Structure formats: structure tokens, C-alpha cells
Amino acid sequence: MTSAVPLPADIGLIGLGLMGENLALNIADHGYRVALWTRSAGKVDRFIQQNGVDRNWVNPTSLEDFTRSLTPPRRVLLMVKAGAPVDEMLERLIPLLSPDDIVIDGGTSFFRDTVRRESRT
């Protein structure tokens, strides 16, 4: 018997605060398969249990698995606290992505931080 390989996700969402949770639910409710990741252990499991295991969730165990679970070109929505947490997540995430992948900072980052981050690429 072979183990089932999960279907790839259409979009990935990092950060399950209030805004991230609601965006994940909205995206899933519109028929998209969503990979979820957060640095808080167990938060994705609890979110899935509370919001429907029957929805199109992908629950990777690491950031590397998260990026591998996304259909290329990868689309990643960051919903983490503005400032240093965004920079820290990008430092971890960018080496795992390809040039055609898209990262969207959906938080409340200061526009000059966004300009600085974009000029890096």
C-alpha cells in the first residue's frame, strides 16, 4: 500500500493571527487549496481542527515542506507582524524560492520597508 501524496497548494499563507486566519478561510472558501505555516508549534493543527478538516488545507511540517507544497510559480502571502518579523521571515523564505515566485506582504509594513525589500531582488 502506498501513502497518498497531498495535492499541491494553490497559495501559501504564513502567519495565523486574526487577519491571517480570516484570509485563509476566505481563500479556501473560494475553492483554492491553501498551505498554512506558522512558527508557533501546533497552531496550524488547532486552526484546521477548529475550521474544518474537510477544507482544502495543506499542513506542512517545515518551511521547506511548505515551499515544496506550492504549485509553481509559488504564491506566498505573508501575514506576520510588520517590521523585523517580516525581514526575518523573508531571510528564511527567499532561499527556498525561485525567481518567478511571488511573495506578498499582506501586513501593515511601512512603505519604505517595502521599497527596501523589493530593491533586494
Let me know whether 74 and 120 are in one domain. Answer: yes
The answer as to whether 11 is a domain residue is: no
Let me know whether 80 and 120 are in one domain. Answer: yes
What does the alpha-carbon distance between residue 10 and residue 31 come to, in Å, rounded to a whole number?
A: 10
Let me know whether 111 and 79 are in one domain. Answer: yes
What is the pTM (predicted TM-score) of this model? 0.86
Strand partners, 35: 12, 58
Let me know whether 103 and 56 are in one domain. Answer: no
Let me know whether 57 and 84 are in one domain. Answer: no
Coil, strand or helix: which one is 1?
coil
Domain of residue 121: give its range: 70-121
Coil, strand or helix: which one is 70?
strand
What does the alpha-carbon distance between residue 85 and residue 53 come to, in Å, rounded to a whole number?
A: 29
Average pLDDT for consecutive 10-residue bins of the chain (121 residues)? 66 95 96 94 92 88 95 96 88 95 84 69 60
The answer as to whether 75 is a domain residue is: yes
The answer as to whether 12 is a domain residue is: no
